[in-house]
Amino acid sequence: MVIDEGLRQVLQRANRVVVLTGAGISAESGVPTFREAQDGLWDQYDPEDVATPEAFQRNPRRVWAWYAHRRQLAQEVEPNAGHWALVEWSRALSWLQVVTQNVDGLHQRAGSEHVIELHGNIHRDRVFDGPLAAEVDDAELPRCPETGAVLRPDVVWFGEQLPEGAMEQAVAAVRSADLMLSVGTSAVVQPAASLPLEALEREIPVVEINAEPTPLTPVASWHFLGSAGELVPTLVRSAASG
């Protein structure tokens, strides 16, 4: 990773940093990403079967089986050097805000505080507020102990709104930052993908770290191709070596 003089200065002067993360930052922990050519979750599963409200209506058991498996995996893995480096950096800055599309909770387990979770959290449940299809056998589905309502994972599915206020908080964070990082995201899923563009529009520099080029790459102020577990710590070390 070659950090030019311009970036070195930006890193050393930065005091308010916002970091948008995606599945790539958890890849080295062993959590599968979504869109990679091989092993991406959307290569092996159709989102229409496991990640829409309609899929849950038709077959809640199948959806729960998929999430129970992913939940268990997320519990078994550990945060990696990319997650840790952001925690370390946050201690050296007046303010560092993580905005994540990940539902695995690894930023929090590494020690990041006040993480904005755009797509929810796989470790939480909430009430499913739609009807189930008439033919569904709803015995043995997870239920709210108080009301008996059927529960679903508290994540955002295709076609659903983001958690209330999450995007507004993320936009406010971007607008008040003096540097933004985009790490391990294919930068195609809206509205998250609009956040680095919002920063650039306001002339806030954006550094992208990703294993492969994305639609953000050509417009990012700086971009680095490679692994988050290696490049995020290198960037943080460079910021600290003032």
**Residue numbers annotated as active site:** 119
Q: Contacting ligand OAD (CB under 6 A), which of 73, 132, 151, 211?
A: 211
Nearer to ligand OAD, 95 or 189 (CB): 189
The span from the first CA to the last CA of the chain, in angstroms, equals 18
Stretch that binds ligand OAD, among 67-75, 83-91, 199-207, 210-218 (CB under 6 A): 210-218
Is residue 28 within 8 Å of 106, Cβ to Cβ?
no
Which sign, positive or negative, has the C-alpha torsion 230, 231, 233, 237? positive
**Site membership for ligand OAD, residue 185 (CB under 6 A):** yes
> Minimum Å distance from CB 181 to ligand OAD?
12
CA gap 98, 4 in Å, rounded: 25
Give me the residues paired with residue 99 across strands: 20, 116
> Residue 155 or 239: which CB sits closer to ligand OAD?
155
Of 186, 196, 205, 239, the residue at the interface with ligand OAD (CB under 6 A) is 186
Which residues, numbered 44-73, are part of the site for ligand OAD (CB under 6 A)?
51
Nearest-approach distance from CB 185 to ligand OAD, in angstroms = 3
161 strand-pairing partners:
none
Joined together, the tokens standing for residue 147 give 């009301």
Give the whole-angstrom CA distance, residue 120 versus residue 108.
13
Nearer to ligand OAD, 90 or 214 (CB): 214
DSSP secondary structure letter of residue 207: E
* 188, two tokens: 């195609």
| Cβ-closest position to ligand OAD | 24
The DSSP call for residue 150 is: B
Nearest-approach distance from CB 140 to ligand OAD, in angstroms: 25
Site string for ligand OAD, 147-176 (x = CB under 6 A): ---------x--------------------
Q: How far apart are CA 193 and CA 24, in angstroms?
A: 14
Residue 19 in contact with ligand OAD, rule: CB under 6 A: no
3-class DSSP state for residue 18? strand
224 binds ligand OAD (CB under 6 A): no
Residue of 79, 105, 163, 184 interacting with ligand OAD (CB under 6 A)? 184
Cβ-proximal residues to 90 (8 Å cutoff; 6+ apart), any chain: 96, 112, 113
Determine if 214 is a binding residue for ligand OAD (CB under 6 A): yes
Q: Determine contact, residues 239/92, Cβ cutoff 8 Å.
A: yes
Give residues in contact with ligand OAD (CB under 6 A): 22-24, 27-28, 33-36, 40, 51, 101, 119, 156, 184-186, 189, 210-212, 214, 227-229
